[in-house]
Structure 1
Amino acid sequence: MILEEMRLCGKTAIVTGAAHGIGKACALALAEAGADVAVVDLKEEVFQTAEEIRKTGKHALAFQADITAEEEILAVVENVAAEWGKLDICFCNAGTFQDIPAEDMPLKEFKRVIEVNLTGAFITARAAGRSMIENHISGSIILTASMSGHIANIPQCQCAYNSSKAGVIMLGKSLAVEWARHGIRVNTVSPGYIRTWSDTPLKPEEVGQSNFEQWTPLRRFGQADELKALIVYLAGDASGFVTGSDYVIDGGYTAF
């Protein structure tokens, strides 16, 4: 049965950037599909995410950690492997954003965005990949990129963000090729404008009012919940022949 192929029972996962938004929604989805989930974030709300995971009946671990600090991420992966015996799934979702014209952007800020979005993704994916290789796990690694890795958004000025997310897409492809021999699959997801800053649904009169919505063919923001099924699919055996791919979830924004 196809639904059985989507189940993640017996698998373990790490999700970064899991205090809110896409990371939180997908961490809960992985648990609902049967996985035990470790959640990572700098914000203390990550412990609330872990509590919500436990309410699904699955085990949860929570870590306040910086994805740009290699020793902290290595400790997270080591703790998960020690507690649960293995690591099957890693969703590298944590990231940051900027909106500064290129001519005004301090070099320090450009480097910060690259450090978090690209280097942080590499640090996390590498730690997970090493654990999978050492323990002979044919795992799945998923990286959050962005439609901004494919286009230059307007009207905001986000050259550092766009560059970092384009790098994440190629990082995913590169790791997919390198680690295929170990049975490890690596894919990226590229969300468009997703309403992650609030769990409160938009009022009917608010839908379609922003420029971002008007330029999106579906005329609305996406919801974090609309990424859950894709992440569960990529995490499990149903996507066993899928690697090195990028999935754009943008309401049609990049179609024109």
Structure 2
Amino acid sequence: MFRLDGKRVFITGGGGGIGRAAALMFAAFGAHVVVLDLDSAAAEGVRCEVAELGGAASAFALDVSDEASVLSVFSQAEREAGGLDVLVNNAGISICRPSTELSLEDWNRVVSVNLTGMFLCSRTAARSWIGRGVPGAVINTASIMSYSGGGLHPNISYQSTKAGVVNLTRTLAVEWADNDIRVNAVAPTWVRTPLIDHLMADEGQMEKIRNLTPLKRLAEPEEVAAAMIFLAGRASAMTTGHVLAVDGGYLAR
């Protein structure tokens, strides 16, 4: 029920962190992985890691916020991989500033990557699936901050866009259900990736995270990737419009 042999899985933000862990795990479950990242060297590095482990992978530079880039790269990647079965929308950025100090330019940049980019990639994938009359699956990376106005620091652009991801997921799930396209999301807690190196170096912040999390620790990237594996295959065939929290109990408090 969890094998993905022969499936073509596109992963945005696949060059590091959760995206890298997802690429390695999807390949281990039999998928051909297409690693997409703004950093072409990082994408190529993950492709090489997958190949060294005996998996199949391709790598492309992609700016998810640019419509022309999305259309061109997805078309090229589909030709090289032989199709597209699962899209993992994982690309995201954070600009952490108080709202009164956040420039419009920075606000727009976060929105363009975290929300508009997810829409552009999902729309492009769905057009392909609907045009060919085949099923598909989309997995979006939301956050525990999709549901919270708090956090360790003021971060309105990140939290607002991640809240938008939740309803984008639900809305597309309903709209595309008749086309046999499932749309789900994961909502991770703080994950042990380079994105939060500054927090991991601060024991006071780590103590706050442990106090906010019933399981008293960070998530590992592989734990988020494992949830994506579930949402990608037959094991979740009756699951759509759902947001699966990988949060150590944070949202249950």
Q: Among residues 173, 195, 208, which one is paired with 2:170 in the alignment?
A: 173
Structure 1 position 209, deviation (Å): 4.3
> What amino acid sits opposite 2:21 in the alignment?
A
Q: Give the CA deviation at 1:210.
A: 3.0
Task: Output the CA distance in 2 between the equivalents of 1:154 and 1:207.
Answer: 14
**Alpha-carbon distance between aligned partners in 2 of 1:76 and 1:33, rounded to the nearest angstrom:** 24
Indicate the residue corresponding to 1:21 in structure 2: 17
Q: Secondary structure at the match of 1:9?
A: coil
Deviation at 1:175, TM superposition (A): 0.7
- Which residue in the other structure is 2:38 paired with? 42
Cα 1:22–1:229 shift into 2, 3 Å: same
Partner of 2:192: 195
Counterpart Cα distance in 2 of 1:49 and 1:127: 24
Partner of 1:219: 216
Cα deviation, residue 155, structure 1: 3.2
Aligned residue identity for 2:193: T
Structure richer in helix, relative to its length:
2
Tell me if 1:10 matches 2:6.
yes
Unaligned runs of at least 5 residues, structure 1 = none
Alignment pair present for 1:31 and 2:4: no
* Counterpart Cα distance in 1 of 2:98 and 2:29: 42
Change (3 A) 1:208 1:120: closer
TM-score scaled to structure 2, two decimals?
0.93
Q: Deviations 1:193-244 (Å, cap 9, x if unpaired)?
A: 111118x9xx9xx799431222211111111011122111111111111100
Structure 2, gaps ≥5 residues long: none
Offset, 1:10: 1.3
CA–CA separation in structure 2 for the residues paired with 1:47 and 1:180? 34
Is 1:130 the counterpart of 2:127? The answer is: yes
Amino acid at match of 1:23: G
Higher mean displacement: 58-67 or 79-88: 79-88
Q: Which residue identity is paired with 1:102?
A: S
Amino acid at match of 1:236: G
Counterpart of 1:39 in structure 2: which amino acid? Answer: V
Q: 1:94 is matched with which residue: 91, 100, 111?
A: 91
SS at match of 2:241: coil
TM-score using structure 1 length: 0.92
8 Å CA contact retained: 1:189, 1:246 = yes
The change in CA–CA distance for 1:83 and 1:31 in structure 2 (over 3 A counts) is: same
1:20 partner amino acid:
G
User: Superposed, which structure 2 residues align to 1:155-174 within 5 Å?
Assistant: 155-174=152-171
- Native 8 Å contact 1:208 1:219 kept in 2: no
Counterpart of 1:38, as a letter, is V
- The 10-residue stretch of structure 1 (18-27 or 151-160) with the greater mean CA deviation from structure 2: 151-160
Structure 1 pair 118–32 and aligned structure 2 pair: CA distance change class (3 A): same
CA distance in structure 1 between the partners assigned to 2:32 and 2:78 by the alignment: 12
**Is the contact between residue 208 and residue 220 of structure 1 (CA under 8 Å) also seen in structure 2?**
no
Aligned-pair Cα RMSD in Å: 2.0
Equivalent residues of 2:60, 2:77 under 8 A apart: no
Q: Which moved more, 1:78-87 or 1:227-236?
A: 78-87
Letter in 1 for 2:20: K
